[in-house]
Amino acid sequence: MSHYKKLIIAVDLSEDSAKVAECARNLAAGSDAELHLIHVIEPLSFAYGGDIPMDFSGIQDEIHQQAVQQLTRFGEIYHIGPERQHIVLGRPEVEIHSKAKEIGADLIVVGSHGRYGLALLMGSTANGVLHGANCDVLAVRVGSNS
């Protein structure tokens, strides 16, 4: 089995994120691999198509602050320092690819709910990350069917 040197763990900060992080930590154990965390915040304008004449900046700022607090706590649990915690704004698959390339990750670890059919077509972050990644991707089964 390959020994990965730099892993990036994509988390949505739900309770499923712990399972994804545990899997990554187990892979990294013994190989002195560097762990990074990434959480992607999708702009509210994506969800609403950008056609609503409202200023979402205050809400978006609050979402960002909550994400910083949660990711900081998550990083403390898994001994991943602030310099290796990344919160970015954008489309998850695009931003995860970009950050993985930027830091030179050789493995992206992401949770997957194992969706299929219409649910998969409607958008799966794990599927989006898998397609187009420049490194290996490990999809960890999470959710009620795990």
User: The pTM is what?
Assistant: 0.84
Question: In terms of C-beta density within 10 A (0-12 exposed, 13-18 middle, 19 or more buried), how is residue 111 classed?
Answer: buried
- Check residue 141 and give its pLDDT: 85
What is the widest separation between alpha-carbon atoms in the chain? 53
| Beta-ladder partners of 8 | 36, 108
Residue numbers in the chain where pLDDT is lower than 50: 1, 117-122, 146
Over residues 16-31, the pLDDT tens digits come to 899 999 999 999 987 8
d(CA 14, CA 84): 19
Q: How many helices (H) and strands (E) does the chain have?
A: 6, 5
Walk me through the domains of the chain, giving residue ranges and CATH numbers: 6-141 (3.40.50.620)
Q: Output 121-125 pairs: Cβ under 8 A, ≥24 positions apart.
A: 125/10, 125/12, 125/92, 125/93, 125/96
- Check residue 119 and give its pLDDT: 43
| 103 touches 110 (CB < 8 A) | no
Q: Output 120-128 pairs: Cβ under 8 A, ≥24 positions apart.
A: 125/10, 125/12, 125/92, 125/93, 125/96, 128/91, 128/92, 128/93
